[in-house]
């Protein structure tokens, strides 16, 4: 397995390996055409129901948006961002309490298995390609929805809980960032991380939090300890 920091200088090194194909997973950068031209096919493992949720943060974004389903998709890479032909796609539900960390690990394990299957089918000539436009038509996905679900790397402001949102939206936001980098909120003049929360009568209950310089603790323990200090 190779993880080059810069891809353009890596082209000559890759050429020397004389590869028949390569597989890309969790790389997060656009692969230049010069590298793609070295092989007849390059496989990419993408954890979303493509063409939905292209880009850097598909798992976090799907959970944040309250989606109840996602997929593992194997595509043949092209010069675009997750726009290549679909080779294999397996849909899977997102559990109502499933966090980013749990879903990431589950999709990664299944993605590795599907990548092996795709390579084997390619080797024996049974692998079929389907343009994402065709997949979109079959799934009833519109161009507007594709554009709205395009994802980007997380920014600092994306971590902060927006309390004006509904309780369910806040819980989904917390799930989408747990265990790392974790949702954040201001309490008692300090920024705390929120690892788990649930909705109760349209209110949000913080179940597990991480105060500055301390480890995870029940939200009620944090509230009680801070309230005592304020007195």
What would the two tokens of residue 159 be?
A: 């971590």
Average pLDDT over residues 178-205: 96
β-sheet bridge partners, residue 46: 73
Specify the pLDDT at position 8: 75
Q: How confident is the model at residue 160 (pLDDT cuts 50, 70, 90)?
A: very high
pLDDT at 231: 53
pLDDT at 55 over 60: yes
Q: Which two tokens stand for residue 15?
A: 């050429």
Asked whether the beta carbons of 82 and 50 are under 8 A apart, the reply is yes
Cα–Cα dist 186/199, whole Å: 19
**Mean pLDDT score across all residues of the chain:** 93
Whole-angstrom distance between the N-terminal and C-terminal Cα of the chain? 56
Neighbouring C-alpha atoms within 13 Å toward the C-beta of 206? 25
For the chain, residues classed under CATH 3.10.25.10 are 156-230
> At a CB cut-off of 8 Å and minimum separation 6, what does 52 contact?
62, 141, 145, 146, 149
| pLDDT tens digits along 112-149 | 999 999 999 999 999 999 999 999 999 999 999 999 99
- The residue-averaged pLDDT of 36-49 equals 95
**86-93 and 217-218 strand pairing:** unpaired
The predicted pLDDT at position 30 comes to 77
Indicate if the alpha-carbon torsion angle 10, 12, 17, 19 is positive or negative.
positive
| pLDDT for residue 203 is more than 70 | yes
d(CA 5, CA 76): 22
Is the CB of residue 183 less than 8 Å from the CB of residue 193? yes
Helix (H, G, I), strand (E, B) or coil at 55: coil
Class of domain 7-148: alpha beta
- What is 156-230's CATH topology? 3.10.25
Predicted pLDDT of residue 229: 66
Give the rounded distance of the alpha carbon of 178 from its chain centre: 12
Q: Per-residue pLDDT averaged across 96-102, rounded?
A: 97
Q: Region 52-65: what's the mean pLDDT?
A: 97
More confident residue, 3 or 12: 12
């Amino acid at each position: 397995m190779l993880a080059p920091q810069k891809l353009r200088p890596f082209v000559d090194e890759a050429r020397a390996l004389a590869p028949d194909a390569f597989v890309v997973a969790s790389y997060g950068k656009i692969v230049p055409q010069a590298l793609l031209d070295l092989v007849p096919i390059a496989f990419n493992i993408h954890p979303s129901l493509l063409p939905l949720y292209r880009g850097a943060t598909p798992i976090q974004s799907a959970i944040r948006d309250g989606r109840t389903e996602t997929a593992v998709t194997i595509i043949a890479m092209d010069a675009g961002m997750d726009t290549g032909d679909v080779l294999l796609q397996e849909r899977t539900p997102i559990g109502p309490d499933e966090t980013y960390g749990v879903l990431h690990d589950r999709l990664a394990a299944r993605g590795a298995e599907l990548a092996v299957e795709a390579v084997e089918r390619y080797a024996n000539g049974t692998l079929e390609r389907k343009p994402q436009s065709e997949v979109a038509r079959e799934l009833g996905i519109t161009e507007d929805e594709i554009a709205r679900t395009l994802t980007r790397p997380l920014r600092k402001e994306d971590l902060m809980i927006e309390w004006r949102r509904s309780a369910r939206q806040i819980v989904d936001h917390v799930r989408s960032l747990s265990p790392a980098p974790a949702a954040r909120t201001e309490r008692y003049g300090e920024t705390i991380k929120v690892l788990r929360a649930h909705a109760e009568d349209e209110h949000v209950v913080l179940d597990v939090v991480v105060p500055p310089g301390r480890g995870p603790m029940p939200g009620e323990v944090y509230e009680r300890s801070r309230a005592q200090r304020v007195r």
